[in-house]
Amino acid sequence: MHIMVVLRLVADLGGDIEIAHGGKDIDREWVDLKLNEFDDHALEEAIFLKEIVGAKVTAIMIDGDGVERSLQTALARGADEARRIAVDDTDGPISSRAMTPVVAAAAAELGADLVLTGVQSPEDIFGQLAPSLGAVLGWPQASAVSSVKPDDGSTITVQQEYSGGVSAAIRLPLPAVLGVQTASRPIRYVTGSKLRQAMAEEIPRIEATAAVAMPDVEIVELRVPDEAGGAVMLDGDADAIADEILRLLADRALLQVC
Amino acid sequence: MKDVLVYIELIEDGVRPSSREAVSAGREIASATGGSVIALIASGEPVGVPTLDGVDRIIHVTHPALGAYTAEAHAAVLADMIAKLDPAAVMLAYTTAGLDLASAVAVTASLPLVAYCTDVTVADGALTTTSQMYGGRLEAVVRAPLPVVVSIMPGAFPEAVTTGASPEIIVQDAPKSLDALRSVFVDEQRPARGSFDLSLAERIVCIGRGIGAADSIAVARELADALNAEIAGSRPVIDQGWLEKERQVGKSGRLVKPRLYIGLGVSGAPEHLEGMRSSDLIIAVNSDAAAPIFTVAHYAAVCDMFDLVPALIERLKAGTP
């Protein structure tokens, strides 16, 4: 099995996110980038599969700032190979929808028979990557996947999560595309020595063989949501806030043992 | 190209509420285009069509492969219907099926897609939406020409109300591709009857990523005990294995509506808010003043939970507010 994992760098939601001049994008000059959380799970699941049944894992990213280091980290975590994919259209961020043909072409060229990526990203408002890829490649796909089990080598059984604690097992033939929500195990972080070793590796940069393609849709304004109707703020130090919360609970008879 | 097609998700006891919300968002678009609202119901058996307010027509497609959900089968039916009807807009709710289907059919039909929508308007042949981005910290105003695929946020639109007239029901043949599907539904897992059910809890103390480490959960548990509340977690906490999956609040966990929800270090991703926004009293504590949970909380405090929680426990144990 050859697993291709598609990784994306996105704004760190734990840091400050400012709106850029012009009001249509975030200020990418100052924003902290981190690996998309769900892509991190996709990578973990790929390495997990490699460990339990043997598989080749290739991590790919559309080339850009911070990409080489992210792919070196993927190697340190257990990926066998990594590729940076160079695209011509580097004017601004490339949405998941727009990168779909590029990634699909890479899957075909690398000979991948399973593509894993995160179920969503904080920026994919024009479409999520996994189902878009499945449609372009003509491969079956499933989103919101929480575990992948290889069957006999030609099929896999995935767990797909629904709301209300409900999930279903779906069997898919390879090749297939999965949007991973949660890896089968918590994400493992690598040791410093492995990381240092991987930092010496140069990540091959290959030219995209398909063009970025974006339908006619655009962000005309990016803004902070209207806070009207938001919370009453409790001010003061921890003791003052604790007093206030106790009063709120007492007023609503929520301190009585039920 | 005036009509609006809405993909309807069936659940055990009828129609998923977010599909009824998608109908009402679709109605707003149809009233601007002058078209009809057409619901697509795909089911395994030719069962009775559930009551569905706010639609003009229901297209019912049945095939054994549509009984238990797979993305491949349902995407094939939806894409087939888009090709036949050439609608101005295709509406889906952002659920697991919505995730699977919306992007897939948009690519297949070469249509633009706008996801995570909380508002839709149509003017001059173009759709303008408000869409959540960056975990709800920002929202984008997006413009797309018609026809377009629209995925809406559950809870952002009211459920559709009746138009007064009964919808016309049209039974259509399933596309031939359903006879040669590759994906196979194996089985479904539901929480066992009588097992722990977080959605029944009257009081919940929910911890988020801000708890930082597994060791820190003890103090949150102590608060939950003092309040006679259940401890729960947001997705990152469950993914770390710090709490059991059955204690997850949110889209992929349990939808809860307790009398009291206290969020500790929960930032409030849209998927979490979907699972708890209907709680009677929401108190959110976060060190980040920009945490999106503050938009649905009734009361909020920007402070370090590790200062506040011991102060709360001390007062609760003393027994006097």
pLDDT per position as a tens digit, B109-166? 999 999 999 999 999 999 999 999 999 999 999 999 999 999 999 999 999 988 888 8
Strand arrangement, sheet containing A176-180? A205-207, A81-86, A56-62, A2-6, A114-118, A176-180, A141-150, A155-161, A167-173, B184-189
A:B CB pairs within 8 Å: 293
Chain A touched by B7 (CB under 8 Å): no
Helix (H, G, I), strand (E, B) or coil at B184: strand
Closest by Cα among B192, B282, B186 to B246: B192
Residues 179-218 on A with a CB inside 8 Å of B are: 179, 181-183, 186-187, 215-218
The whole-angstrom separation of Cα B110 and Cα B127 is 16
Chain A touched by B67 (CB under 8 Å): no
- Phi then psi for residue A18, to 5 deg, are -105, 155
Chain B touched by A171 (CB under 8 Å): yes
Do the domains B4-180 and B198-318 sit in the same CATH topology, yes or no? yes
Chain B touched by A41 (CB under 8 Å): yes
Amino acid making up residue A217: V
Q: E strands, B73-223, where?
A: 89-93, 113-123, 126-133, 138-145, 148-152, 168-172, 184-189, 203-207
The residues spanned by each domain of chain B are: 4-180, 198-318
Helix residue ranges, H only, chain B: 17-33, 71-85, 96-108, 217-226, 235-239, 270-276, 305-318
Chain B touched by A253 (CB under 8 Å): no
> A166, B148: Cβ pair inside 8 Å?
no
Chain A touched by B68 (CB under 8 Å): yes
Helix (H, G, I), strand (E, B) or coil at A64: coil
A111 phi-psi bin (left φ>0, alpha ψ -120 to 50, beta other):
left
Class of domain B198-318: alpha beta
What's the gap between Cα A95 and its chain centre? 13
Q: What count of other Cβ atoms lies within 10 Å of the Cβ of residue B124? A: 8
Q: How do beta strands B89-93 and B57-62 pair?
A: unpaired
Residues 69-108 on B with a CB inside 8 Å of A are: 69-72, 75, 95-96, 99-108
Work out the angle between the directed axes of helices A96-110 and A129-137 (0-180°, nearest 10).
50
- Give me the half-sphere count of Cα atoms (radius 13 Å) on the Cβ side of residue A23: 6
- ipTM of predicted assembly, 2 dp: 0.94
Chain A touched by B164 (CB under 8 Å): no
Query: In chain A, what is the straight-line distance between the N-terminal and C-terminal CA atoms, in Å?
Result: 55
Work out the angle between the directed axes of helices A192-199 and A67-77 (0-180°, nearest 10).
130
CA distances for B248 relative to A85, B263, B271, angstroms = 37, 13, 11
Chain A touched by B244 (CB under 8 Å): no
At residue A90, the pLDDT reads 62
> A141, B71: Cβ pair inside 8 Å?
yes
Among B70, B99, B131, which would you mutate to test the A interface (most chain A Cβ atoms within 10 Å of its Cβ)? B99
Residue tagged 């007023």 (tokens): A251
Q: What count of other Cβ atoms lies within 10 Å of the Cβ of residue B193? A: 6
The per-residue b/e assignment along A85-106, b for 16 or more CB within 10 angstroms, e otherwise, is bebeeeeebbbbbbbbbbbbbb
> A168, B301: Cβ pair inside 8 Å?
no
Tokens of A197: 């070793």
* Helix or strand holding residue A70 (H, E): helix A67-77
Helix (H, G, I), strand (E, B) or coil at B110: coil
Tokens of B293: 């949970």
CATH of domain B4-180: 3.40.50.620
pLDDT digits (tens, 9 = 90+) for B262-311: 999 999 999 999 999 999 999 999 999 889 999 999 999 999 999 999 99
Query: What length does chain B have?
Result: 321
**A141 to chain B: which residues are within 8 Å by CB?**
71-72, 100, 104
Chain B touched by A65 (CB under 8 Å): no
Instruction: Kindly list the structural domains of chain A, giving each domain's residue range(s) and its CATH number in brackets, ordered by start.
Output: 2-207 (3.40.50.620)
Per-residue pLDDT of chain A (258 residues; tens, 9 = 90+): 999 999 999 999 888 899 999 999 999 988 999 999 999 999 999 999 999 999 999 999 999 999 999 999 999 999 999 999 999 866 678 999 999 999 999 999 999 999 999 999 999 999 999 999 999 999 999 999 999 999 988 999 999 999 888 999 999 999 999 999 999 999 998 989 999 999 999 999 999 999 998 889 999 999 998 765 678 999 999 999 999 999 999 999 898 764
The whole-angstrom separation of Cα B307 and Cα A237 is 9
> A131, B104: Cβ pair inside 8 Å?
yes
The whole-angstrom separation of Cα B18 and Cα A125 is 19
pLDDT digits (tens, 9 = 90+) for B217-270: 999 999 999 999 999 999 999 999 999 999 999 998 999 999 999 999 999 999
* Helix or strand holding residue A46 (H, E): helix A37-53
CA distances for B197 relative to A47, B14, B60, B204, B222, angstroms = 33, 22, 34, 12, 20
